[in-house]
Structure 1
Amino acid sequence: MWNLKRMANQLEVRTYELVSVFPLRLTRGLRIFKTSSYLVSYKMDLISELPEALLLRILSLLPAQDVASTMLLSKRWRFLFTSVPRLEYDDNYHSIEYGRFSRFVDRFLFLHEAPAIVIETLHFKLGKNCGAEDIRVCIRAADKCCVRELIFEIDGGLASSESPPIVLPSSLYAGCRMLVTLKLSKVILEDVSSSISFPSLKTLSLLSVEYPGDEFVSRLLSSCHVLEVLHVEQCPSDNVTVFTVRVPSLKSLVLHALDDDDDDDDDDDGFVIDTPSLEWLDIVDHREGFCIIENGMPKIMTARLDVIYSHSGETMRSITSVKRLDLCLLTSENEYPSGSVFSCLVHLKICTCDTEWMSLLMCMLRHSPNLKSLRLEECHLVETSDPRPCWSEPNSVPECLLSSLEAFEWVHYEGTEEEKKLVAFILRSARCLKKVTICSSSTKICCCCCWFLAKKKRFVVGFFCFFFAFLPLFFLKHSFTPSFVFPIKGTFYKMCWVEKL
């Protein structure tokens, strides 16, 4: 397999040698480029002998300024750069002066006006040297080339003291009708009275974007009639209180809200979601707000909820058809949606950072009859002063432990008495268990886990230790991992690993 990034780096170095060190000189009809210690002449190399399609992929990994410079390498490269499907412009590249960036973009894209040439992606990285005219040139270039994917990435925040914020003009909303993918980062969207139209847009990414208000967000999303993927990262200064997503065609939705420690009124902040075709949902919101899901999500397959809502159970009630679920909730047993059954759930991951996570775990086990994989992991930092969960063994064993659970994994296992009781309950009750992974940062804990599993005589136990000081010299020299096999009635269970991080 070709290492395209490595080839691109080599090509960038050679291009820099040719055009950035010393000016071009003509000597008896032969073009020669003089460097500080040697001469580089036109000479076909291994990269130049590659197929054109592969060369275009390599050029797509370079900044547009270097792509244009490759025309000086040889006759083979003279017009090759005009067919590159992906172009990335960076106005901070080699300290481009103000005004030169927009002229370079305009002149370079003039060479792409041939009807047979279609630029799939235009990626603009704009910084403090960028002005309003540069933005208009970029949007005009995207419209002229019928670009399918347009990316605006701003260097710095919305409230940068070094330069004024970058406002995208109204021409973006109506002038790029061929766009299939639009990605905006750290920009300000301008309010417009005219209609917004993105008839072909399927993927929209809005990262730290400032909007005119709540109503504008609804207008923007309602204009994307075929939108399938939406990724939103809200910043505290985005001027939006309730982010409303009503898109019937949407299949993938990511909503991340950055917490503002100075905002005491974040109870009013939240999401309203109406996406009946949604298959993938990812919500991360550490504000004390809300999330309202209208009309349910009958097609949902994968969901992640990392929230601190006081009524998160209502959100969970709308996603009972998921097959893969990742939960980190500030939720007690009483917050679990009563009467809800996750009959399709196969893979479950629960974060162990909250005090009541064991109660949530038992609720999920009781109402997930077909669960096959369970993963416990501490995904967030837990203060040592925080109260830790209490284990209360249930009166009856959940159905999934008796009939379906095959894999159990615990990352950042601490070995407390409560955790030991939980592990003992799962290993004692899970009749179909085939693989167990317990990861800890304590050698003592790992040894105890090995002894516990070995005593049960139900598993093949492998023990990995990456602190070589604890391993015998023999194992260091021969890279050998000790393992213990315990048969049950003449048969062997599948592999069970107890790992040491």
Structure 2
Amino acid sequence: MANSACQEINVGSKRGRSSDEAICVDRISRLPDVLIQHILSFLSTKEAMTTSVLSKRWLWVWTSVPIIDLQDTPSCRTDLNIRSRFGQFVTRVLILNKMASLDKFCLKFNLVDHPSHVTTWFRDAVSRDVKELDITIHGTQIFPFLKLPFALFTARTLQVLKLSQGVELHVPGPVSLPCLKVLHLVWIKYMNDESVSRLFAGCHVLQELVLRKYVGDNSTISIISIPTLKIMSIRFATGLHKHRLKINAPILEHLHLEDNLGLEFDLEDVSSLVESNVSVTWLENRHIPLLKALCNTKYVSFNWDWYAKMKRCNFRPHHLYLNLVRLELNVGYGGWNMLSLFLEISNNLKVLVLAKAIVLLAFRQQNDNCRGFECRWKPPRNVPECLLSSLEMVSFKGFEDVAYQLRMVKYILGSARVLKTMEICDDGHLPLELKLGVLKKLSMFPRRSKACQLHFN
């Protein structure tokens, strides 16, 4: 039984090999329809349709697959005839597909010349109790954004909804999506703030939200008050208008936030956060509510280029990160001044990862004066509690052998009482001779912890 299904064939004979192949094909064809349909569900619909040429047994198997996955070609953007044929192809697939219930309807295409046809496709999917709807529309330079049929926002079986690019979110009435657990809104356009509010209000069991907002989406206020939300990823693109982000998610566990706008934060309840990743260009006073709200988080990654306008802020060491055990700082020029503060407020920190913001390497070559911002780093006035009792591992990525980095390493090695590992990784540009010199220099730094091992990669 453990041997190959075709082991009885004489491998030394061409005839034997042909029989072998025939038997293997016959055995696959004898599989139950349900199993074959499951196998075909891992292919795109176009790929599944090609199996119809294998034999009469396979001719219509693809029409019983509960997943429709269609994507047009780049030529649809410029060729009217090809675009028209793709629209006809989608309509034909929906007609031929026999499934009364769809697990997934995925459509990635350039908007056809007749949006009414697209609306019909979506209504057809909803009428078949579709569980997952994944729509991406390109080519909005030629066509207006597509308004979705309102029937989509009352789909009782929909569990996953992903909308990307050329879609306009227009919600004129109350939303009811009782089974929706995953919602992705990526670079779409919003009719107004009310449409966003209505959508969120109708998602009573939502667990994952991905939000990507761009300039000109007609929405300046994002109120996310979802008591069931566990995972949230938000990215705001650069723009001139100020936006307001209000979050009330009491059981939220994972937060990824990228802010390139002048966001005003209002975080009512994110007390269950376990992991957060925050990226900003300028770390300033408007981020204070965000920093305070993350105080219960266990794993934190901060990414910022500049530290500005926080010298007089009231974010001081009494806002302790008592649960924080792993902190990652990806910092650019002028941002290292916050390192001392984070050490002071992270009493139970065990792992510290420091990294130089890669996006600024080219900027550094053009602006040598920026080195002065780095050299302003000063250690804390008093040795932080985490260095005395909990910090066990430090990793410094993108090490360049500059003065401020050496000071940081020297300070941590000389202050961390229970440190076990200090890992230094260069940025890949240090010559071998310089690396040896750096290693020698680092090895001479005094270590408070006798058990500390220094690794230089």
Instruction: Output the TM-score relative to the length of structure 2.
Output: 0.81
Cα drift, residue 279 of structure 1: 1.1
Moved more, 218-227 or 408-417: 408-417
Deviation track 1:110-144 (CA, whole Å, cap 9, x = no partner) reads 454455xx432211012043531332232123213
Cα drift, residue 399 of structure 1: 1.4
Q: 1:195 to 1:46 in 2, by over 3 A?
A: same
Cα drift, residue 72 of structure 1: 1.8
Preserved contact between residue 414 and residue 447 of structure 2 (Cα < 8 Å): no
Q: 1:71 aligns with which of 46, 52, 65?
A: 52
Preserved contact between residue 248 and residue 276 of structure 1 (Cα < 8 Å): yes
Q: Does 1:362 align with 2:340?
A: yes
SS in 1 for 2:189: coil
Paired letter, 1:497: H
Cα drift, residue 152 of structure 1: 0.5
Q: 1:63 to 1:114 in 2, by over 3 A?
A: closer
Q: Which has the higher helix share?
A: 2
Deviation track 1:439-498 (CA, whole Å, cap 9, x = no partner) reads 223135532342244446979xxxxxxxxxxxxxxxxxxxxxxxxxxx96xxx766x532
Partner in structure 2 of residue 170 of structure 1:
150
Q: 1:280 to 1:214 in 2, by over 3 A?
A: same
CA–CA distance in structure 1, aligned partners of residues 264 and 164 of structure 2: 25
Partner in structure 2 of residue 236 of structure 1:
215
Preserved contact between residue 63 and residue 87 of structure 1 (Cα < 8 Å): yes
Deviation track 1:161-220 (CA, whole Å, cap 9, x = no partner) reads x3343332323223x221100000013335343322211111100001101111211111
Q: 1:446 to 1:336 in 2, by over 3 A?
A: farther
Q: 2:234 aligns with which of 246, 255, 261?
A: 255
Moved more, 135-144 or 240-249: 135-144
CA–CA distance in structure 2, aligned partners of residues 213 and 304 of structure 1: 28
CA–CA distance in structure 1, aligned partners of residues 421 and 205 of structure 2: 43
Partner in structure 2 of residue 318 of structure 1:
293
Q: Identity, % of aligned pairs?
A: 27
Listed as ranges, the gaps of 5+ residues in structure 1 are 1-41, 460-486
Preserved contact between residue 349 and residue 390 of structure 2 (Cα < 8 Å): yes
Structure 1 residues 181-330: aligned runs within 5 Å: 181-260=160-239, 263=240, 266=241, 268-294=242-268, 296-307=269-280, 308=282, 309-329=284-304, 330=306
Cα drift, residue 94 of structure 1: 8.1
SS in 2 for 1:136: helix
Preserved contact between residue 122 and residue 151 of structure 1 (Cα < 8 Å): yes
SS in 2 for 1:340: coil
CA–CA distance in structure 2, aligned partners of residues 454 and 48 of structure 1: 66
CA–CA distance in structure 1, aligned partners of residues 424 and 39 of structure 2: 43
SS in 2 for 1:423: helix
Cα drift, residue 59 of structure 1: 3.0
Q: 1:497 to 1:121 in 2, by over 3 A?
A: farther
Paired letter, 2:233: V
Cα drift, residue 365 of structure 1: 0.9
Moved more, 95-104 or 366-375: 95-104
Partner in structure 1 of residue 373 of structure 2:
388
SS in 2 for 1:205: strand
Partner in structure 1 of residue 118 of structure 2:
135
Q: 1:192 to 1:428 in 2, by over 3 A?
A: closer
Q: Does 1:375 align with 2:348?
A: no
Q: Does 1:417 align with 2:375?
A: no
CA–CA distance in structure 1, aligned partners of residues 159 and 351 of structure 2: 37
Paired letter, 1:419: Q
Paired letter, 1:270: R
Structure 1 residues 446-461: aligned runs within 5 Å: 446-455=435-444
Cα drift, residue 97 of structure 1: 3.5
Cα drift, residue 226 of structure 1: 0.8
Listed as ranges, the gaps of 5+ residues in structure 2 are 1-20
CA–CA distance in structure 2, aligned partners of residues 361 and 169 of structure 1: 50
CA–CA distance in structure 1, aligned partners of residues 435 and 224 of structure 2: 47
Paired letter, 1:170: F
Partner in structure 2 of residue 155 of structure 1:
138
Moved more, 362-371 or 190-199: 190-199
Paired letter, 1:498: F
Partner in structure 2 of residue 105 of structure 1:
90
Preserved contact between residue 44 and residue 74 of structure 1 (Cα < 8 Å): no
Q: 2:41 aligns with which of 60, 63, 70?
A: 60
Partner in structure 1 of residue 420 of structure 2:
434
CA–CA distance in structure 1, aligned partners of residues 437 and 38 of structure 2: 52
Equivalent residues, number: 414
Q: Does 1:497 align with 2:455?
A: yes
SS in 2 for 1:388: helix
CA–CA distance in structure 2, aligned partners of residues 225 and 270 of structure 1: 23
Moved more, 48-57 or 223-232: 48-57
Instruction: Output the TM-score relative to the length of structure 1.
Output: 0.75
